[in-house]
Chains A and B, each alone.
Chain A
Amino acid sequence: MKLAQLAAAMMLAAARLEGQEADAELPVTPNTELFAKIERAIIRIHSIFGRPVHPVIGGVGPGGGWGAGIGYDAPVPRPWHGGAKAIYTTNSYYVAEAYAGYDGRRGELEIFGRGRDMTRLDYFGPGPSSNLFDRTNFRLRDPVVGGHGKFRVSPSLAVGGRLEQLWPDVRAGRAPSIRSIEERFTEALAPGLAAQPRFGRYQASLDLDLPAGAGDAFYQGTRSRLTYALYDGQDVPGYDFRRSDIEVKQTFASFIAHHRLTLSGWMSTSMTSNGQEVPFYLQPTLGGKSAIRSVHEDRLGSDGTDATLRGYRNLRFRDRHLLLLQAEYRLPLWGPIDATVFADAGKVTGQRSDLDLTDLRRDFGFSLSVMKGWATAARVDVGFGSGEGTRVFLTLGELTP
């Protein structure tokens, strides 16, 4: 029996050897080899950025330029998430932040802490008539700790909240060729310049999303958000205020496949009791792409962007009340490349009664984007028609220099 098994094994081995008359080599043509090399290189880059500790590239705030740093994504199982990052930019801005949270089907919750230093933020004075030639700059350090969350009451309706403690600190700006804020403005024209209290921010929000029609149906959904926030100045009197914001974004399909028209509006009003002021560094701003925001705080914005008046500089206008109206038409060009043409109009005012449709600042322009599914991987916006020159804004992912 053993002899028979041995013979069978030898026959099988011989058969295998016969089959291997020559070693099998994968034929690779030069073209195939090139594609394969490119694919391998991309995989290598992905693997570097996909590690828990990885390099990060991005911005910190308006005027900070591009920066680089290190990020950490905690390897925790979904729906939990956590991470940290630190970035230092070309204009000496830095940010260091950490966050951890839960993203469930019905609700999400996140706690965070952040330290940030922005050394050259623009300030042109308050109101709709501020002068471009009054440009000054200031330094803002705004460490913050807090949390925010959202609970979905129904598929269309969510209620949310945000609690924060922040320690703003305004100092002289460091831009070499621009005056510092205290050289041009006083407390009367820049409330909060003299002293900065510690703030508690207590905010509630309501999100209402109406579903889009399938495919290229004309109605492509409505998104709206109402927020109400209390800012409690805690150790310096005179800076308590309340703010309400309402945003609406409505999208329609065009007659051409995949084209979209988005109409959006944002109104923000701040309220104070007698003798109280809204600090200039917490006033809503119009102009450009960037704004000063808290951790993971977003606006609905226009189509794929939260830019405001794109024909103007970042932070060009600020005051207690704000109105912004935008129209944006998106057309796909090739593959992931989309273009939009847009028109923006808006104003800031010191009095709520002035928040009307007269004397709006206007601009128009176009954008080119590389889309990553729902998100924008890279985008350039070019704004004209403001009378203050042509503005170009580059966004890389969710980050703006």
Chain B
Amino acid sequence: MRLVRFGGAALALVALSCSLNERRTVDDTRLAQLWESPADLERRDLFYGAGGAQNAPDPNELYEFKEEKAVGTQPGYDVEDSKGREWSVKLGEEARPEVAVSRLVWAIGYRQPSVYYLPRWTLVRDGKRTTQPGGRFRLDDTKNLAEWSWRQNPFLHTQQIAGLYVLMVMVNNWDIKSQQNAIYEYKAKAEHHGPRQQYMVKDLGASLGRSAWPVGGSKADPAGFEDEPFIERVQGNRVHFGYQGSWLEPQLVRSITPADVRWTSELLARVTPKQWSDAFRAAGFSEAEGKRYIRRLHEKIAEGRALGQF
């Protein structure tokens, strides 16, 4: 009799856990500030990304110096082109991964700023021209209203915020923190922009390498990226990743379910071979480097889609 009672109680707990396994939802208007279902995913131009070809910077332009970047680990400038458009240029090892990852984030429906990579460009400072190494160009067509926090935001516990974190894990973005997130407002409204105010992960540069805790992972490091395991195990409806990043957000690390990983993996599985190639080509990676990243990402996608199949 005692055994029957115990069994009944255990079954009730299982039923309770299953009934509470749905993620929170928010209305579509609100959600569109973060994510919009990418009905046209397979047709998206991952070479030019969210900003499109029309906004791309011209590598033959002269970029006038405005200001030097004062924070962060990567050097950079604010510059202005001949059309009067202002750009935030990031140099160093984060420039290429940031652009490639931005393309993937945007591909599966998340908001992203207009970012591009120029392998060489010319800076004019005090009338003197210098040829600069490759840099990430972010168009200053938005106003940065505020940071948004991974642990307190309007989309907390939704499928979309969990899916975004899974994507960060898949690309080994180890520097996840609120300071890398921004609520942007477009200065001028355009049809393709979507909502005027948007929630974005703007700084994606600490990606495509090996993650480490608390910081100090590598960036744009194909060998490190290939070596790092993706899914360690699933325990009690929570996924344990091999990924060591996001040290500031342990609650986020502990919140991911197998369904979240499958959701992101299914979206990424729709990216076409040409789009994969375009994303890495746009970021200045060589064809060989791009192939290595794409191969590893496909392995992760397959692992993610199979998750939960016992």
Contacts and interface: CB of A to CB of B under 8 A. Distances in A.
B244 to A, nearest CB: 7
Contact of A21 (B20, B92, B131): B131
Interface in A97-150: 103, 105-106
A31 B131 contact: no
Interface in B144-159: 151-152, 156-157
B8 interface: no
A213 B257 CA distance: 9
Interface in A12-38: 19-29, 31-32, 35-36
Contacts of A29: 68-70, 75
Interface stretch (A219-227, A271-279, A379-387): A219-227
Interface stretch (B28-36, B183-191, B193-201, B246-254): B246-254
Interface residues of A, number: 54
Interface in A368-396: 371-374, 377
B247 A336 contact: yes
B247 A21 contact: no
A268 B143 CA distance: 62
Nearest to A222: B13
B87 to A, nearest CB: 15
Contacts of A210: 10, 13-14, 17, 236
A209 interface: yes
B236 A219 contact: no
A152 B14 CA distance: 18
Contacts of A338: 250
Given A21-B130, A217-B21, A338-B250, A35 B73 contact: yes
B83 interface: no
B248 A211 contact: no
Nearest to B253: A373
Contacts of B213: 372-373, 377
Interface in A32-53: 32, 35-36, 39, 42-43, 45-46, 50
A336 B131 contact: no
B13 to A, nearest CB: 5
A152 to B, nearest CB: 8
Nearest to A37: B73
A258 interface: yes
A129 B169 CA distance: 52
Contacts of A213: 17, 20-21, 237
Contacts of A377: 213
Contacts of A20: 131
B55 interface: no
A233 to B, nearest CB: 33
Given A212-B17, A215-B23, A155 B130 contact: no
A154 interface: yes
A32 B75 contact: yes
A247 to B, nearest CB: 14
A38 B20 CA distance: 44
Interface of A: 19-29, 31-32, 35-36, 39, 42-43, 45-46, 50, 78, 103, 105-106, 152, 154-155, 208-219, 221-223, 257-258, 332, 335-336, 338, 371-374, 377
25 contacts: A21-B131, A22-B129, A22-B131, A24-B132, A26-B133, A27-B69, A29-B75, A31-B71, A32-B72, A36-B73, A42-B214, A43-B218, A46-B212, A155-B310, A210-B10, A210-B236, A214-B162, A215-B255, A332-B151, A336-B214, A371-B250, A372-B214, A373-B213, A373-B246, A374-B240
Given A35-B72, A35-B73, A42-B215, 5 more contacts: A19-B131, A39-B216, A105-B233, A211-B17, A335-B247
